[in-house]
Amino acid sequence: MTRTQWIIGNWKQHKLRHEAEAFAKKLVADLPDNFMDREDALRIGLAPSFTALDVVRVWSRPAGPLWLFAQNIAAQDGGAFTGEIGPSMLKDVGAHGAIIGHSERRKHFQESTSLLAHKLKCALRADLLAVFCVGEELTARKQEKHEDVIHCQLAEGLGDLPRELCNERLILAYEPVWAIGTGETATPEQANTMHQCIRTWMEQHFGSRGADRSILYGGSVKPNNAAELMANLEVDGLLIGGASLDLTTFFDIIRLSIPGS
Ligand code: PGA
């Protein structure tokens, strides 16, 4: 099975509505006309803030050039939960999916592993795409405990995921915390090894439907390292923070990630 390739820009708490709209409009206009006709077409996604989802939505559509993600999602679909935004609301605004378990959510907002497991089920049950992030801190890497940490995050996040929810809507992202926003990137070999470790765990738990999931790399991806990361067999795409804020830079990464470019 050919795994879907993704380039997703995570804008974090950046860009007002007019900036988000102008970016999306120009990005779509600049993509080659035949972009979607290629057999190996990459899927391009943007994850703006909740407040800019609707303006980016205008330029996005499934099976079209641009897919729309929220950066977070509630663990339930409605009720007395002040400040929360759940799957129905995201679908209502036109989002196709959500990022879940980003290390900034885990660290700054104390999102627990059990909460993340609920968010994941909630998103997948609503037929949204879910980009589930895992990644180790620098200390774990230095102590050579990185694989243990990833196994633990996978077990806690996906351990009780019903088998039928491990489907094509589940996307994984390996984002070593020491590489996020630091300018330090995992080497292609490190990324490959960790993606293999994730894939093996997924296969052991979900069989071939687990092994077939797309696994993205995130952490200081830039135009100067995107191609060599994407050239890795195990790397099915990129989750990009800082470098997705500037259109030219983001576009360069897209261009460099097209096979054979
Ligand atoms: P970065 O962020 O590309 O700025 O390192 C990646 C991420 O947080 O997803």
Looking at residue 62, its pLDDT comes to: 63
Q: What is the mean pLDDT of residues 218-224?
A: 95
Residue 242 Cβ contacting ligand 1 at under 6 Å: yes
Q: What is the dihedral of CA 223, 224, 230, 232, to 10 degrees?
A: -170
Looking at residue 33, its pLDDT comes to: 72
Q: What is the mean pLDDT of residues 97-114?
A: 96
Please state, in angstroms and rounded to a whole number, the distance separating the CA atoms of residues 47 and 8. Answer: 7
Tens of pLDDT, residues 32-86: 777 766 656 789 999 999 999 999 998 876 666 789 999 999 999 999 999 999 9
**What does DSSP assign to residue 199?**
H
Q: What is the dihedral of CA 209, 221, 227, 251, to 10 degrees?
A: 100
> What pairs with residue 198 in β-bridges?
none
> What pairs with residue 217 in β-bridges?
174, 238
Answer whether residue 16 shows pLDDT above 70.
yes
Give the number of the atom of ligand 1 that is nearest the alpha carbon of residue 240.
3
184 included as an active-site residue: no
Looking at residue 235, its pLDDT comes to: 95
Give the number of the atom of ligand 1 that is nearest the alpha carbon of residue 133.
9
53 to each of 31, 37, 38, 69, 213, how far by Cα in Å? 20, 26, 27, 8, 26
Residue 221 Cβ contacting ligand 1 at under 6 Å: yes
> What pairs with residue 174 in β-bridges?
134, 217
Residue 205 tokens, joined: 């738990």
Q: Residue 164 burial by CB count (10 A; 0-12/13-18/19+): exposed, middle or buried? A: exposed
Distance of CA 220 from the midpoint of ligand 1 (Å): 6
Looking at residue 188, its pLDDT comes to: 92
pTM score of the predicted model: 0.95
Please state, in angstroms and rounded to a whole number, the distance separating the CA atoms of residues 129 and 67. Answer: 10
21 included as an active-site residue: no
Per the document, the length of the chain is 261
Locus of tokens 């094509």: 168
For atom 1 of ligand 1, which residue has the closest CA?
241
What percent of the chain lies above the pLDDT cut of 90?
A: 84
CB 152, CB 190: distance < 8 Å: no
Locus of tokens 């007395």: 80
Q: In which band, very low, low, confident or very high, does the pLDDT at 257 lie, cut at 50, 70 and 90?
A: confident
For atom 7 of ligand 1, which residue has the closest CA?
241
Looking at residue 241, its pLDDT comes to: 97
Question: 209 or 40, which is more confident?
Answer: 209
CB 51, CB 21: distance < 8 Å: no
CB 84, CB 76: distance < 8 Å: yes
Q: What are phi and psi of 244, to 5 degrees?
A: -90, -5
Closest by alpha carbon to 5, among 200, 217, 247? 217
Residue 107 Cβ contacting ligand 1 at under 6 Å: no
pLDDT, averaged across the chain: 93
Residue 86 tokens, joined: 């759940």
Looking at residue 2, its pLDDT comes to: 80
DSSP, collapsed to helix, strand or coil, labels residue 169 as coil
Please state, in angstroms and rounded to a whole number, the distance separating the CA atoms of residues 195 and 154. Answer: 12
Tens of pLDDT, residues 113-169: 999 999 999 999 999 999 999 999 999 999 999 999 999 999 999 999 999 999 999
From the list 21, 111, 136, 175, the catalytic residue is 175
Distance of CA 181 from the midpoint of ligand 1 (Å): 5
What percent of the chain lies above the pLDDT cut of 70?
A: 95
Give the number of the atom of ligand 1 that is nearest the alpha carbon of residue 222.
3
Q: In which band, very low, low, confident or very high, does the pLDDT at 101 lie, cut at 50, 70 and 90?
A: very high
Distance of CA 86 from the midpoint of ligand 1 (Å): 24
Answer whether residue 260 shows pLDDT above 70.
no
From the list 96, 102, 146, 195, the catalytic residue is 102
Question: 36 or 234, which is more confident?
Answer: 234
**What does DSSP assign to residue 1?**
-
Looking at residue 24, its pLDDT comes to: 94
